[in-house]
Structure 1
Amino acid sequence: MNSPNERLGYWLGRSGLSRKELARRVIAKAIEWGQPHITPNATRIRRWLEGESPRQPVPDILAGVFSDHFGWRVTTYDLGLGDGASTDAALTYDPSFTATVEVVADLGRADVDRRTFLAAAPFAAVAGVGPSRDWLLNVLDQEPDPGPRVRLEDVGMVKNMFATFQRMDVLQGGGSGRLVLAEYMNWHVYPLLRRSHDEGVRRALCEAAAEQTYLLGWMAYDNGEHSVAQRYLIQSLRLAEESQNAPLGAHVLAGMADQATLLGNPTEGRRLAQAGRHGLARSESAACLADLWCLEARALALLGDKVAAAKAVVQSERAYERVNLAEEPDWAAFIDPAYLHGEHANTMRDLENPAAAEEHACRSIEHAETQNRARRGAMSQAALAVSHLQRKELDKAHAAGLRTLRLTGKVKSSRAVEAVQDLQRRMRPFGNDPLVADFNERVREAAVA
């Protein structure tokens, strides 16, 4: 026996339509869509409410009827009739702003509802090629905005929330609070994009929405949900283009570059970082530039280009010397010495330069401790531990490993957990040494890996 379709019942009740009127509108919409054979009556509507599943294209027609009635998009998923548009659309950089708004709204709903098809979707290794190309070409064609930046109350509220959630991510990890942020976006931010505004207001809203959508992607990335993260980042890039904020788009490309390199595609990571740097040709964000050079160095190290990687680290440091925090946007707040030295430590680790890796790791750790940033501290302690292992200093590596483990327990971050797991793998060549056994036992007790 079928269970009643409570979602369809909810939307029918909210519409105030009778079953007979809904049937009439479905028939009219079916004729409009070239489907004159679809002729439900009030009895058929009752059966759908009781749980009978109509065949395609009836679910899409019903969604169209309710969307027309309410004046905003109602999906087949909202009606309890399937997932509707696939979130594969979120891998597409759509030239239509209206389509982009609907895609990112669908993605947000799927994320909050934890639908299994989204979690199981694979990371698409080269999905960033088209979006980064389209963003770069469009940004280079844009003229600088001659007017003052629009400051509206609703935009200001969104930006204030961004600062709150960004701080939550930095201090507690991406797995903490992301679904709350997604709910906030679904109910308060994405609906704003559907309203009619003048051009200046629309750009300001797109900028705020792009920042928040990027943060959703970054938090998913830090929590190891890479298919979700990739979709958010691509849609954030599209919103950033709509806002005509080149540094913000370059920042999104930095996130995409970081993810590509982490997942074993440093060639793509380098290309995305380079696209971001080219996009800054007519704009200025020293912090963003420092990050892009930093991430390019990470990719080059994994590609085995030691000379180019070392040069990229120097370029990153030079760019950061020009940073004026008062002039940088809120999203650049995390691009600081704790972050940059931590990433440089990983670059030097991959270049098998343990002395330089130790120097950068210690600088990162010092700043992270001052800021109470457990995630960054954990990853930099792990880099320090590896630098000791590369010099056969197991006792020092063990001590740094225990500090990594302690800090990892304070945050919800798959990257920190992966750093612990990486240390375990790197300790295996030391065989049955008591320090190796002790570290593995501590990991089991902590239940973080």
Structure 2
Amino acid sequence: MKKTPNKRLAHWVSRSGLSNTELARRVCVAAQRCGEPHIASDASSVRRWLQGDIPRAPLPQILANILSTEVGYRVTTYDLGFGDSPILDNSLIYNASYELTVETVADLGRADVDRRAFLAAAPFTAVAAVGPARDWLLDTLDQEPEPGPRVRLEDVSAVRNMFGTFQEMDVLQGGGTGHRTLARYMNVHIYPLLGRTHPDSNDPVRRALCEAAAEQTYLLGWMAYDDGEHSTAQRYLIQSLRMANESRNAALGAHVLAGMADQATLLGEPAEGRRLAQSGRAGLAKADSPACLADLWCLEARALAKLGDKRAAAQAVAKSQAAFERVRPEQEQEWAEFIDGAYLNGEYANVFRDIGDAAEAEKHARESIAHARRQKRARRGAMSQAVLSVSHLQRGDLEAAHAAGLRTLSLSRQVKSSRCIEAVQDLQKRMTPFGDHRLVVDFNERAKELVTAA
């Protein structure tokens, strides 16, 4: 059978500037160092690989490591035409090694951009969050604050400016709109920088860059979550948590745990969601962010409502509201901007919907809708209109529910968000007890096009 030349490998070998002989020599040296003395290669071996032969493990990874060092950019076995690196397993691990964390998140970003099927098909694994949450909390509580002002660097400022742009894109247009674009930006501009930072974990440039990278990796996870790609989202969030710890920003790590809690509860694991929210609050003992605290209490309330603990859920909402009263926007970090009246009231409305308090659900839904309308936030408006519709259904007012449902459809068409689609489908299910009433039929007909397209 005629072999197909490996153009990917040829590209990276050419870019490295290494001759076939020198590359073969380095392979032998690297094999010796990693305990594989039986591996031997020469210029003829490299030539066969370029012609299409697939070397046996661990040679593909050894080649990837050598070429990465030469070009100053993370090159994976996939890039070399040798198939996938073990992304699925590695990206669920909170690795103690900074270098392996950088390698893993770069591999994950590349797989995401290429939309590789194995990643999208992987399941969400609730238990995977247990170890990362524990390790982050222990590391955070062990860290001692360093003297001196917080470092502001020009390179990091440029990264942060892009973060603001992408966060606004997510808030206004939905996660599905900018997810791939942000992943490409991270792969090209951010992840390569992480691999070239100072080896000292206390280096201010490294810590500032890790903080910015953690923020944007979290946003990538959140966008994937909103786009319905939960396996990808979970992996980004775990790696974001590890980089947040590297930056020594406890509030940012707690914020990542809030995202993980939200995802766990949404996917039917409210007990895990509650535990993650509690871990985030414990981590805030080393930081002060009333906005993050309000979010964590809110997400614990969501989990408690799903668990059927009405009294504790209402108490958690009250604690969230008390924390939010202390928020001073100018003192919060940029990622906390979305934790506002539109978001929190929308989540409170979900809590009261789930515990059957229609009056409170309606009150908070209307508050959220008013805020969202002023800010032109269609996604939040759509989800809160859906809760408002349910509150009407809980009181038996189908006509009011139908009107709010139509507003949900109108706003959902303006964004690309799987959560909006799920809110519409939830409304359809909740209208089922009303049978073939003309308003139910009308809503289902109007919803059909939106749901089918999604």
TM-score of the pair, normalised by structure 1: 0.96
Query: After superposition, what is the alpha-carbon deviation per residue over 1:367-410, rounded to whole angstroms, capped at 9, x for unaligned?
Result: 10000000000000000000011111111111111110111010
Confirm or deny that 1:398 pairs with 2:402.
Answer: yes
How far residue 40 of structure 1 moved from its aligned partner, in angstroms, is: 4.1
Report if the CA contact (8 A) 1:87-1:106 is conserved. Answer: no
Name the residue aligned to 2:189. Answer: 188
* Equivalent position to 2:342, from 334, 338, 354: 338
* Equivalent position to 2:415, from 411, 414, 420: 411
Name the residue aligned to 1:310. Answer: 314
The worse-fitting range, judged by mean Cα deviation, of 49-58 and 330-339 is 49-58
Distance 1:62 1:425, change over 3 A: same
How far residue 107 of structure 1 moved from its aligned partner, in angstroms, is: 1.0
How far residue 114 of structure 1 moved from its aligned partner, in angstroms, is: 1.1
Identity %: 68
Distance 1:422 1:180, change over 3 A: same
Report if the CA contact (8 A) 2:140-2:286 is conserved. Answer: no
Distance 1:229 1:199, change over 3 A: same
Name the residue aligned to 2:64. Answer: 63
Matches within 5 A, 1:8-157: 8-70=9-71, 72-157=73-158
The SS at the match of 2:308 is coil
Paired with 2:106 and 2:324, the residues of 1 have a C-alpha distance of: 36
How far residue 316 of structure 1 moved from its aligned partner, in angstroms, is: 0.8
How far residue 300 of structure 1 moved from its aligned partner, in angstroms, is: 0.4
Paired with 2:358 and 2:31, the residues of 1 have a C-alpha distance of: 68
Counterpart residue identity of residue 374, structure 1:
A
Q: Which runs of 5+ in 1 are unaligned?
A: none
Please give the root-mean-square deviation of Cα atoms over the aligned residues, in Å: 1.6
* Equivalent position to 1:250, from 254, 260, 280: 254
Paired with 1:210 and 1:65, the residues of 2 have a C-alpha distance of: 27
* Equivalent position to 1:261, from 248, 261, 265: 265
Paired with 1:435 and 1:213, the residues of 2 have a C-alpha distance of: 43
* Equivalent position to 2:366, from 346, 350, 362: 362
Paired with 1:375 and 1:256, the residues of 2 have a C-alpha distance of: 20
Confirm or deny that 1:296 pairs with 2:300.
Answer: yes
Confirm or deny that 1:175 pairs with 2:179.
Answer: no
Report if the CA contact (8 A) 2:197-2:205 is conserved. Answer: no
Paired with 2:195 and 2:244, the residues of 1 have a C-alpha distance of: 16
Query: After superposition, what is the alpha-carbon deviation per residue over 1:315-355, rounded to whole angstroms, capped at 9, x for unaligned?
Result: 11111111101111110000000000000000000001111
Confirm or deny that 1:283 pairs with 2:310.
Answer: no
Name the residue aligned to 1:384. Answer: 388
Counterpart residue identity of residue 357, structure 1:
A
Distance 1:7 1:399, change over 3 A: same
Q: How many residues align?
A: 449
How far residue 203 of structure 1 moved from its aligned partner, in angstroms, is: 1.5
Confirm or deny that 1:222 pairs with 2:220.
Answer: no
Confirm or deny that 1:352 pairs with 2:356.
Answer: yes
Report if the CA contact (8 A) 1:338-1:368 is conserved. Answer: yes
Counterpart residue identity of residue 372, structure 2:
A
Counterpart residue identity of residue 11, structure 1:
W
* Equivalent position to 2:433, from 413, 429, 436: 429
How far residue 146 of structure 1 moved from its aligned partner, in angstroms, is: 2.2
The worse-fitting range, judged by mean Cα deviation, of 258-267 and 71-80 is 71-80
How far residue 249 of structure 1 moved from its aligned partner, in angstroms, is: 0.8
The SS at the match of 2:286 is coil
Name the residue aligned to 1:439. Answer: 443
Distance 1:229 1:171, change over 3 A: same
Query: After superposition, what is the alpha-carbon deviation per residue over 1:406-435, rounded to whole angstroms, capped at 9, x for unaligned?
Result: 110100000000000001111111111111
Q: Which runs of 5+ in 2 are unaligned?
A: none
The SS at the match of 2:175 is coil
Distance 1:382 1:56, change over 3 A: same
The SS at the match of 1:281 is helix
Counterpart residue identity of residue 189, structure 1:
I
Report if the CA contact (8 A) 1:5-1:50 is conserved. Answer: yes
Counterpart residue identity of residue 214, structure 2:
A
Paired with 2:329 and 2:28, the residues of 1 have a C-alpha distance of: 60
Paired with 1:138 and 1:62, the residues of 2 have a C-alpha distance of: 34
Report if the CA contact (8 A) 1:257-1:272 is conserved. Answer: yes
Paired with 1:98 and 1:22, the residues of 2 have a C-alpha distance of: 23
Counterpart residue identity of residue 66, structure 1:
L
Paired with 2:241 and 2:13, the residues of 1 have a C-alpha distance of: 36
Distance 1:368 1:147, change over 3 A: same
Distance 1:325 1:35, change over 3 A: closer
The SS at the match of 1:114 is coil
Query: After superposition, what is the alpha-carbon deviation per residue over 1:255-278, rounded to whole angstroms, capped at 9, x for unaligned?
Result: 000000000010000111111111
Counterpart residue identity of residue 88, structure 1:
D
